[in-house]
């Protein structure tokens, strides 16, 4: 009896020290979903922008994923071996008519559908801003929060979708 007690105590002691010295740590939720978004980004078929997005419900279940890529059966930059935007140094956030890809955020939203996006959180890996096209999609989908991380070394940024809504309301169609 005492022997089993010792084994159990030793097990918890090891777990405790492992945690203390950082050998094993339970991943925090935001880190976890951003890590999944990073994996999604690795399916991007544009040579310039590798971005992944994950939509997570309030129940912490994944509703959909997406990456930056061409519509189904449309030839990609990856297949062509060249990216028009890259070769012409088109600054990011501008001239979207020169891009054949569907952004990761939009791919995830169309896969999830509006019902599953309601009050959900979106995790984006690969850039630290949301483009003007995706902002509208995110607002209309009913997503509540967005977390972004540009790369492994950058901090996690949090955006309230209500602030995006506000920004869109103020940015356009206001009297000068």
Interacting residues with Zn ion (CB under 5 A): 46, 48, 77, 83, 103, 131, 134
Cβ proximity to Zn ion, 29 vs 96, nearer residue: 96
Q: CA distances (Å), 111 to each of 87, 115, 117, 165, in order?
A: 31, 11, 10, 22
Cα–Cα distance, 93 to 131 (Å, whole number): 6
Beta bridge partners of 52: 67, 125
| Shortest Å, Cβ 159 to Zn ion | 13
Nearer to Zn ion, 34 or 131 (CB): 131
Closer of 77 and 146 to Zn ion (Cβ): 77
Does the annotation mark 105 as catalytic? yes
CB of 67 to Zn ion, least distance (A): 12
From the CB of 80, what's the least distance to Zn ion, in Å?
9
Least distance CB 73 / Zn ion (angstroms) = 17
Of residues 38 and 127, the one with the C-beta less far from Zn ion: 127
How far apart CA 136 and CA 96 sit, in angstroms, is 14
Of 35, 87, 105, 170, the active-site residue reads 105
C-alpha 95/C-alpha 84 separation (Å) is 11
- How would you classify the pairing of strands 62-67 and 52-56? antiparallel
Pairing of strands 52-56, 121-125: antiparallel
DSSP string of 30-55, one letter each residue: HHHHHHHHHHHHTT---SS---EEEE
Catalytic positions, please? 105
């Amino acid at each position: 009896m005492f022997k089993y007690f010792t084994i159990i105590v030793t097990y918890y002691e090891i777990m405790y020290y492992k945690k203390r010295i950082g050998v094993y740590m339970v991943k925090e939720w935001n880190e976890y979903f951003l890590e999944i978004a990073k994996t999604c980004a690795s399916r991007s078929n544009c040579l310039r922008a590798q971005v992944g997005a994950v939509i997570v419900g309030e129940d912490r279940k994944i509703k959909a994923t997406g990456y930056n890529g061409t519509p189904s059966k449309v030839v990609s930059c990856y297949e062509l071996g060249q990216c028009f935007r890259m070769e012409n140094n088109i600054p990011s956030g501008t001239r979207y008519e020169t891009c054949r890809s569907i952004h990761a955020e939009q791919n995830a939203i169309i896969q999830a559908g509006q019902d599953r996006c309601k009050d959900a959180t979106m995790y984006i890996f690969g850039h630290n801003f949301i483009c003007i096209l995706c902002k509208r999609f995110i607002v209309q989908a009913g997503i509540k929060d967005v977390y972004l991380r540009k790369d492994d070394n950058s901090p996690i940024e949090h955006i309230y979708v209500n602030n995006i809504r506000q920004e869109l309301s103020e940015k356009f169609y206001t009297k000068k």
